[in-house]
Structure 1
Amino acid sequence: MRFTSHTLLDDGVLEREFTLAGFAGILWMPPTATPSSPVPLLLLNQPGGFGTRRMYSRLVARAAAAAADGFASVTIELAGTGDRPPLPGADEARADLRAALAAGEKPSADVTDRLILPLVDAAVPDWQTTLDAVLALPDVGPGVGFSGGVIAVGVRLAATDPRIAAAGLFAGSYVPRSTMEEAQGIGIPIHVLLQWDDEGNDRQAALDLFDAFGSREKTLVANMGGTRAFRRSRERMPGGSSCGM
């Protein structure tokens, strides 16, 4: 991990941009973090297709809220966004998705898999590499939470990395078939935020995924309205969240 900038924000949070293993990220540290009193970590995942520059204002607001609760936060540039090369087949899958929606049809399972799974396959190893590096810092302690969408990324990471202790997920992206299976093996506390009237969200798939989680402690919060209403309700969710693809 190579830090490329250090900025002290108005609320005393230290913002540090970094590069790691071919991708970029931002780490936010609360003023309470010290080697003798390390703080837990929140992973701020981003929606697919936007990139850190476009999402920065929302990310820094989420990081500031988390810092006020004593958490460090980190985000990374997802594969296929920002300056990273596009994921193979992503444009074609996205075009097929839009064509299905324009025709008033539900996207097929094949389209969903082609759109979401390449991102999951790329993002989860990047997050694990980031965890290795950030948890090696002396002022960051154990206890890691995941916050945001794409929901399939959060499910895969929670299912495969025992360092994830809890997850706050936004049900705003399409759900691959394999994600349903992975959810059954998850036992950590889960908090899912669902916008009931989001025109781009498969509500039933989100409800089915929530049912599939093996966690004994899981909460679904459903709000009326679509994505714009979500932006307001997100601020009430611990660590915020961000919509999916």
Structure 2
Amino acid sequence: MRFTSERRLDDGVLEREFTLGEIPGILWTPGPASASAPVPLILLGHQGGLKRMYPRLVARARHSAAEGFASAAIEMPGSGDRPRWADAEQARADLRRALDAGGPVGEEIIDRLILPLVDKVVPETRAALDALLALPEIGGPVGYSGGVIAIGVRLAVVEPRILAAGLFAGSFVPRATLEEARKVTIPLHVLLQWDDEENDRQAALNLFDAFGSKEKSLHANMGGHTGVPPWAGDAAGRFFVRHLRRPPATSGQPADTDSGR
């Protein structure tokens, strides 16, 4: 990992751009984070284009920093300054034609669009996590927040360092992801926009039902893909506080575990 820029935002959050091989990324850490006071980390999932997604990502990162968490996002394959990915671009074009025609999107298109992306992004995210956790000011535990939801599902299955996930049900769900969801056991907080024009609501509900987690909650709000209400972030924040921030142990007493409050 090589840091390429650094600036302090007006609320004290330190924002650093980095590269990991050919992969660009951004790390946000709260002001108090240091080697003597390392903080938990939330990996921010998104649908590609760090520059395009930056306003939403930095808003999420600042919200998390206010709770004492660092946040990081990496560029998706084929997006931003990364090399073009012809197969993904063709799948997106086929998807757009199907949506514009008003017909259902076939499983074959969804699989071509989502599954290769999951196969590429998950190893890259795990490599980024290795590098981020090597920083003295990042101490874990780790959470995952965002979408593409199939990426979050795969990470929840294969990455033991991720202890909780807040998933955005706003992307297409391959049948294979439904099967993977049965293996997910970590606590989940799932956000669903009920009228999301880019999401198959029933597929999102089926996915939620398939999750094997003992603790999982579905937070559905009226409105379209970009109509997420501001208070949705507060609920997600409380979820991560419960699972990523543990109070210190007092003398002679063990640290309190999550009570669900």
Count of residue pairs the alignment pairs up = 238
The answer to whether the 8 Å contact 1:189/1:215 transfers is yes
Whichever residue aligns with residue 94 of structure 1, its letter is R
Once residues 173 and 57 of structure 1 are traced to their aligned partners in structure 2, the CA distance between those partners, rounded to angstroms, is 20
Whichever residue aligns with residue 162 of structure 2, its letter is I
Once residues 104 and 190 of structure 2 are traced to their aligned partners in structure 1, the CA distance between those partners, rounded to angstroms, is 22
Q: 2:258 maps to what in 1?
A: none
87-96 or 173-182, which deviates more? 87-96
1:117 to 104, 107, 115: 115
Whichever residue aligns with residue 38 of structure 1, its letter is P
| Structure with higher RCO (Cα < 8 A, 6+ apart) | 1
Q: How far did 1:187 drift?
A: 0.5
The answer to whether the 8 Å contact 1:23/1:76 transfers is yes
In the alignment, structure 1 segments of 5+ residues that lack a partner are 241-245
The answer to whether the 8 Å contact 1:66/1:238 transfers is no
Q: 2:135 maps to what in 1?
A: 137
Whichever residue aligns with residue 64 of structure 2, its letter is A
Q: How far did 1:103 drift?
A: 2.5
The answer to whether the 8 Å contact 1:87/1:118 transfers is no
For residues 147-192 of structure 1, the C-alpha deviation after alignment (integer angstroms, 9 at most, x for no partner) is 0110011111111110110000110000011111111111000011
Q: How far did 1:231 drift?
A: 5.8
Whichever residue aligns with residue 127 of structure 1, its letter is T
The answer to whether the 8 Å contact 2:221/2:229 transfers is no
58-67 or 90-99, which deviates more? 90-99
The answer to whether the 8 Å contact 1:180/1:209 transfers is yes
Once residues 117 and 86 of structure 1 are traced to their aligned partners in structure 2, the CA distance between those partners, rounded to angstroms, is 17
1:163 to 137, 142, 161: 161
Q: 1:57 maps to what in 2?
A: 55
Whichever residue aligns with residue 17 of structure 2, its letter is E
TM-score (norm 2): 0.87
Q: 1:90 maps to what in 2?
A: 88
RMSD: 1.5
Q: Secondary structure at the match of 1:82?
A: coil
TM-score (norm 1): 0.93
Q: 1:28 maps to what in 2?
A: 28
Q: Percent identity?
A: 63
Q: How far did 1:237 drift?
A: 4.3
Once residues 22 and 84 of structure 1 are traced to their aligned partners in structure 2, the CA distance between those partners, rounded to angstroms, is 7
In the alignment, structure 2 segments of 5+ residues that lack a partner are 239-261
Distance 1:90 1:222, change over 3 A: same
Asked if residue 104 in structure 1 is aligned to residue 114 in structure 2, the reply is no
Q: 1:37 maps to what in 2?
A: 37
Whichever residue aligns with residue 34 of structure 2, its letter is T
Q: How far did 1:21 drift?
A: 1.9
Q: 2:234 maps to what in 1?
A: 236
The answer to whether the 8 Å contact 1:223/1:233 transfers is no
Whichever residue aligns with residue 5 of structure 1, its letter is S
